[in-house]
């Protein structure tokens, strides 16, 4: 447990869900993504920007959710 605490002090701070959603929304617009078929395009752009600051699975779930919102509204 102490080792984990020490290691975490050297890792970059993780972005909050709200911060990630803001980045994702911005990159959806910039990439021209319009549907779930564009998930890979958005994921690549987001992961390049947030590398080390967010878990890929979390980013994928948020990207999928944001793209789904765009196709249902």
Tens digit of pLDDT per residue, the chain (73 long)?
A: 788 888 878 878 899 999 999 999 999 999 999 999 999 999 999 999 999 899 999 999 999 999 999 887 6
User: What percent of the chain has pLDDT above 90?
Assistant: 73
Q: Provide the whole-model pTM.
A: 0.84
Stated length of the chain: 73
pLDDT at 66: 96
Positive or negative torsion for Cα 15, 17, 19, 25: positive
Kindly list the distances between the CA atom of residue 47 and the CA atoms of 4, 5, 6, in Å, as whole numbers in the listed order.
Answer: 24, 25, 25
Q: Give the model's pLDDT for residue 70.
A: 85
pLDDT in the model for residue 15: 95
Residue 39 confidence (pLDDT):
96
């Amino acid at each position: 447990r102490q080792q984990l605490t020490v290691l975490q002090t050297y890792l970059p701070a993780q972005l909050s869900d709200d911060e990630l959603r803001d980045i994702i929304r911005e990159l959806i617009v910039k990439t021209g993504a319009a549907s779930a078929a564009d998930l890979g395009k958005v994921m690549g752009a987001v992961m390049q920007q947030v590398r080390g600051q967010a878990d890929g699975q979390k980013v994928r779930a948020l990207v999928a959710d944001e793209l789904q919102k765009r196709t249902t509204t």
